[in-house]
């Protein structure tokens, strides 16, 4: 039935439809046959609906957003956006701004047109009056959240209203009404709007806190069910607690000689020997891959002086016991007090790389 009524309203008041093609009362009744659980609606009621629609067209009423938009169009100057989906006009009144309650001023000197919305107080001044309408000049505006209302009376202003911010106790504006009725009506509507705004603000804060709490709970549940950090820690731990990556590998045939500074090169196992390297930083370390001895950065053969000259070492023209003595600690160097006079010799028959002894 609702759809049929809308179609009848459009058909009856659309100027583009010719009169002979417009819907007749019999057409309207025929369209609504058997709509009441298979039964027809009372004919007289349908005829009454048809006649009323023919007499008066359906028009959409002015909603609160449209009303605020019309007010916004009449206010000139730099103003905040007034037309918002949640904003509606509560009342309009004419008050007078008071700069000093103890100083008398001419009546009507600071006339203000006050628009009270459900979340905002708009203070304007009449800018111009024309036949087409009134234009207002924007003065200032105050949000109603955390606003306090105080009434006062002085010898000059008997119907005063003072608006104060509850956040910092700052006086926002001081107004005066023409009579007690105007003041009581304005204050009543203003306090009701403030209560509504504070209630909505409280709900908004609670909703934000709830969202924040839900986000934290979601993260906590995610990390509670996430074993990646525990798995990472387990992977970082060695499989054998007795092994430390900074310690030397186990070598049962380790030769602990006092003149060696490399544990790996002193191992008899073939798999644990280091290959020789000319750029090695280990001086005085025997390399197990070539059968040569590094002496103070010079390559020396284990067997004879001729082998040394054949390799062309410029720093060691000949091999002697004094060259072998340079393998010792600084206490064994020539010219050092407390020098040990015992010579160092090579012992035959030992595995390659472990043939240094004293």
pLDDT of residue 18: 84
pLDDT band at residue 210 under the 50/70/90 scheme: confident
Pick 221 or 66 by higher pLDDT. 66
* Mean pLDDT, rounded, of the chain: 73
pLDDT of residue 68: 92
pLDDT digits (tens, 9 = 90+) for 263-301: 444 444 444 444 444 444 444 444 444 444 444 444 444
Task: Check: CB of residue 161 under 8 Å from CB of residue 186.
Answer: yes
pLDDT of residue 349: 59
pLDDT of residue 22: 87
Share of the chain above pLDDT 90, in %: 30
Compute, in degrees rounded to 10, the torsion defined by CA atoms 31, 37, 39, 42. -70
Question: Is residue 37 scored above 90 in pLDDT?
Answer: no
pLDDT of residue 250: 52
Pick 333 or 64 by higher pLDDT. 64
Q: Quote the CA–CA distance of 169 and 89 in Å, as a whole number.
A: 27
- How far CA 232 is from CA of 222, 228, 242, in Å, comes to 16, 6, 20
With residues binned 3-state (H G I as helix, E B as strand, rest as coil), the percentages for the chain, rounded to 5, are 35, 20, 45
Pick 207 or 325 by higher pLDDT. 207
Range 231-237 average pLDDT: 50
Task: Check: CB of residue 9 under 8 Å from CB of residue 53.
Answer: yes
How do 111-117 and 133-143 pair as beta strands? unpaired
DSSP code, position 192 = H
Task: Check: CB of residue 164 under 8 Å from CB of residue 150.
Answer: yes
How are strands ordered across the β-sheet holding 89-97? 75-76, 133-143, 120-130, 111-117, 89-97, 171-176, 160-165, 147-152
Question: Is residue 225 scored above 70 in pLDDT?
Answer: no
CB atoms within 10 A of CB 198: 15
- Per-residue buried b or exposed e for 151-185, using 16+ beta carbons within 10 Å of the residue's own CB: eeeeeebebbbbbbeeeeeeeebbbbbeeeebbee
Pick 165 or 17 by higher pLDDT. 165
pLDDT of residue 351: 58
DSSP code, position 300 = E
Element (H, E) at 5: helix 2-13
- Model-wide pTM > 0.75: no
Q: Quote the CA–CA distance of 6 and 73 in Å, as a whole number.
A: 32
Range 101-111 average pLDDT: 86
Residues with Cβ within 8 Å of 332's Cβ and at least 6 positions away in sequence, in order, are 325, 339, 340
Straight-line distance from the first to the last Cα atom of the chain, in angstroms, rounded to the nearest whole number: 118
pLDDT of residue 238: 53
Q: Quote the CA–CA distance of 71 and 109 in Å, as a whole number.
A: 24
pLDDT band at residue 140 under the 50/70/90 scheme: very high
Pick 152 or 221 by higher pLDDT. 152
Pick 279 or 23 by higher pLDDT. 23
Range 82-97 average pLDDT: 93
Range 139-163 average pLDDT: 93
Question: Is residue 248 scored above 70 in pLDDT?
Answer: no
Range 154-178 average pLDDT: 93
Pick 261 or 115 by higher pLDDT. 115
∠ CA 340-346-347 to the nearest 5 degrees? 115
The number of angstroms, rounded, from the C-alpha of 4 to the middle of its chain's C-alpha atoms is 52
Counting DSSP H helices and E strands in the chain, the numbers are: 8, 10
């Amino acid at each position: 039935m609702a759809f049929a009524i809308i179609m009848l309203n459009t058909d009856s008041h659309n100027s583009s439809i010719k009169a002979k093609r417009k819907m007749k009362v019999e057409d309207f009744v025929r369209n609504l046959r058997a709509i009441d659980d298979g039964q027809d609606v009372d004919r007289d009621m349908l005829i009454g609906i048809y006649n009323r629609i023919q007499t008066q067209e359906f028009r959409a009423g002015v909603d609160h957003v449209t009303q605020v938009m019309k007010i916004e169009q009449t206010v000139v100057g730099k103003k905040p956006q007034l037309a918002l989906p949640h904003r509606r006009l509560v009342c309009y009144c004419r008050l007078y701004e008071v700069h000093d309650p103890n100083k008398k001023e001419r009546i009507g000197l600071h006339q203000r047109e006050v628009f009270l919305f459900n979340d905002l107080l708009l203070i304007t001044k009449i800018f111009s009056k024309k036949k087409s309408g009134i234009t207002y000049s924007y003065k200032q505006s105050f949000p109603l959240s955390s606003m306090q209302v105080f009434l006062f009376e002085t010898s000059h202003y008997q119907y005063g209203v003072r608006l104060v911010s509850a956040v910092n106790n700052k006086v926002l504006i001081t107004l005066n009404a023409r009579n007690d009725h105007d003041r009581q009506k304005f204050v009543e509507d203003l306090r009701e709007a403030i209560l509504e705004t504070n209630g909505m603000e409280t709900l908004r804060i609670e909703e934000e806190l709830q969202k924040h709490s839900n986000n934290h709970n979601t993260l906590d549940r995610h990390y509670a069910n996430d074993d990646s950090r525990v798995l990472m820690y387990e992977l970082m731990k060695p499989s054998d607690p007795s092994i430390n990556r900074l310690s030397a590998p186990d070598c049962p045939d380790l030769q602990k000689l006092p003149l060696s500074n490399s544990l790996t090169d002193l191992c008899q196992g073939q798999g644990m020997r280091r290959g020789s390297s000319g750029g090695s930083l280990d001086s005085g370390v025997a390399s197990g891959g070539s059968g040569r001895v590094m002496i103070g950065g010079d390559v020396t053969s284990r067997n004879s002086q001729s082998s040394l000259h054949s390799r062309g070492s410029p720093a060691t023209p000949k091999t002697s016991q004094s060259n072998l003595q340079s393998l010792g600690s600084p206490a064994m160097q020539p010219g050092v007090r407390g020098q040990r006079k015992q010579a160092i010799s090579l012992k035959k028959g030992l595995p390659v790389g472990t043939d240094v002894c004293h």
